Amino acid sequence: MRILFIGDVVGEPGRKAVKALLPQLREQQALDFVIANGENSAGGSGITPKTAEEIFSAGVDVITSGDHLWDQKEVMTLLADEKRFLRPMNYPPAVPGRGSGVFETKQGAIGVMNFQGRTFMQPPVENPFLLAAEELKKVQPWTKVIFVDFHAEATSEKIAFARMLDGQVSTVVGTHTHVQTADEQIFPGGTAYLSDAGFTGPHESVLGREIEPVIKKFLTAMPQRFEVAKNRILLQGAVIEIDKSSGKALKIRRVSEAL
């Protein structure tokens, strides 16, 4: 089974990149399933039903999210109605939506799980290290192929979480920092790992935002309006090849495609 994970989709430029580049990537890479982190797809902060539908219509099968989940009030509709949209599962039990799901592909079922880290992250959420084992018990009876989006700031927390899950899931890919790392590898137990998938959107920027207001904020410590930048648009992420019978990863390769 071959999966493409698309790093944080930022604003209209990110959505444009997904719509323009994903169809050819699906064909070139013979993809069976596509996951995208869409928590920044609406104006660079949050997600709405409209931006989610744009991403789904481009060929994405599941959208994950993170700490900007609540930035658009319309997200409540997605959480209530859209089973292909996942929120970090380590929110308290009463929070609407779900943090994992099992989805069908032509190659068989795939489980997708979304967790959020706690180090240097807001809002404070439940400990993902303690919740992961319980959620795996729900997903593993349905499939051995399991993908995890771990939305976290600290690289140490991402690596530790993935090492804990080595051999129990197929892939752990980090999101949130918007900087694609070069540490793709397969752990001894067969779990593919990448600390951060990068982001899909304008890279002539500061993490997708116009450069000058960010510099001004650092110079003056005064509030600034951070508009989404426009230039040098890339689709970033990773392609993972998985043995569907064992759930073990065979290959992982970073992706960085220019629009």
We report the CATH number of the domain holding residue 156 as 3.60.21.10
pLDDT of residue 188: 98
Per the structure, the count of domains in the chain is: 1
pLDDT of residue 67: 96
> What is the extent of the structural domain holding 63?
2-258
pTM here?
A: 0.97
Rounded to whole angstroms, how far apart are CA atoms 60 and 19? 9
Model confidence at 78, in pLDDT bands (50, 70, 90)? Answer: very high
Give the pair of three-digit tokens for residue 10.
Answer: 């930022």
Q: What is the pLDDT of residues 147-183, one digit of tens each?
A: 999 999 999 999 999 999 999 999 999 999 999 999 9
Task: Give the contacts of 185 (CB within 8 A, at least 6 positions apart).
Answer: 192, 193, 194, 252
Per DSSP, the three-state class of 23 is helix
Mean pLDDT, range 84-102, rounded to an integer: 96
Q: Which residue type sits at 152?
A: A
- Catalytic residue numbers, as ranges: 68
Rounded to whole angstroms, how far apart are CA atoms 27 and 120? 39
Mean pLDDT, range 108-125, rounded to an integer: 96
Q: What is the pLDDT of residues 181-204, one digit of tens each?
A: 999 999 999 999 999 999 999 999
Higher pLDDT, 123 or 22: 22
Per DSSP, the three-state class of 131 is helix
Rounded to whole angstroms, how far apart are CA atoms 219 and 2? 45
Burial class of residue 4 (count of CB atoms within 10 Å of its CB; 0-12, 13-18, 19+): buried
Mean pLDDT, range 79-83, rounded to an integer: 96
